[in-house]
Structure 1
Amino acid sequence: MSATESRQRELIVDFGKSLFERGLTAGSSGNLSVRLDDGWLLTPTNASLGRLDPAQLSKLDWDGNLISGAPPSKEAFLHRAMYEERGSAGAIVHLHSTHSAAVSCMCGLNHDDCIPPLTPYFVMKVGRLPLVPYHRPGDPALASAISAMARKHSAVLLANHGPVVSGTSLEAAVYAAEELEETAKLFLLLRDVPTRPLDAAQIADLKHTFKLDI
Structure 2
Amino acid sequence: MSTADENALRDDICRFARSLFERGLTPGSSGNISVRLEDGGWLVTPTNASLGHLDPARLSRLDASGTLLSGDKPTKEIPLHAALYETRGSARAVVHLHSTHAVALTLLPEIDPRSALPPLTPYYLMRAGQTALVPYYRPGDPAVADAIKGLAGRYSSVLLSNHGPVVAGESLEAAVFATEELEETAKLYLLTRNVNPRYLSRAQVDDLVTTFKCEIADPDALDRQCRAPDCPTHGFGFLGGIAREPAED
Q: TM-score, normalised by structure 2?
A: 0.83
Match of 1:82? 84
C-alpha displacement of 1:213: 4.2
> Match of 1:149, SS?
coil
- Map of 1:76-115 to 2, 5 A cutoff? 76-115=78-117
Counterpart residue identity of residue 210, structure 2: H
Match of 1:205? 207
Counterpart residue identity of residue 25, structure 1: T
- Map of 1:15-164 to 2, 5 A cutoff? 15-38=16-39, 39-149=41-151, 151-164=153-166
Give CA-to-partner distance per residue, 1:100-144, whole Å, 9 cap, x none: 011112222111111111000101011111101111111110001
> Match of 2:89, SS?
coil
In 2, the alpha carbon distance for the partners of 1:194 and 1:105 equals 20
Structure 2 stretches lacking a partner, 5+ long: 217-249
Give CA-to-partner distance per residue, 1:138-157, whole Å, 9 cap, x none: 11100010122251011100
Match of 1:10? 11
Structure 1 stretches lacking a partner, 5+ long: none
- RMSD between superposed Cα atoms in Å: 1.2
> Does structure 1 residue 170 correspond to structure 2 residue 172?
yes
Deviates more, 1:185-194 or 1:199-208: 199-208
In 1, the alpha carbon distance for the partners of 2:199 and 2:172 equals 28
After the TM superposition, which segments of 4 or more aligned residues of structure 1 sit over 2 Å from their partners?
211-214
> Match of 1:32, SS?
strand
C-alpha displacement of 1:87: 1.2
Percent identity of equivalent pairs: 61
Deviates more, 1:57-66 or 1:124-133: 57-66
> Match of 1:192, SS?
coil
In 1, the alpha carbon distance for the partners of 2:64 and 2:201 equals 40
Match of 2:184? 182
C-alpha displacement of 1:65: 1.1
* Larger-gyration structure (1/2): 2
In 2, the alpha carbon distance for the partners of 1:116 and 1:150 equals 21
C-alpha displacement of 1:63: 1.8
In 2, the alpha carbon distance for the partners of 1:187 and 1:4 equals 40
* C-alpha contact (below 8 Å) 1:149/1:156 kept by paired residues: no
* C-alpha contact (below 8 Å) 2:130/2:215 kept by paired residues: no
Aligned residue pair count: 214
Q: TM-score, normalised by structure 1?
A: 0.96
In 2, the alpha carbon distance for the partners of 1:213 and 1:8 equals 27
> Match of 2:9, SS?
helix
* C-alpha contact (below 8 Å) 2:45/2:75 kept by paired residues: yes
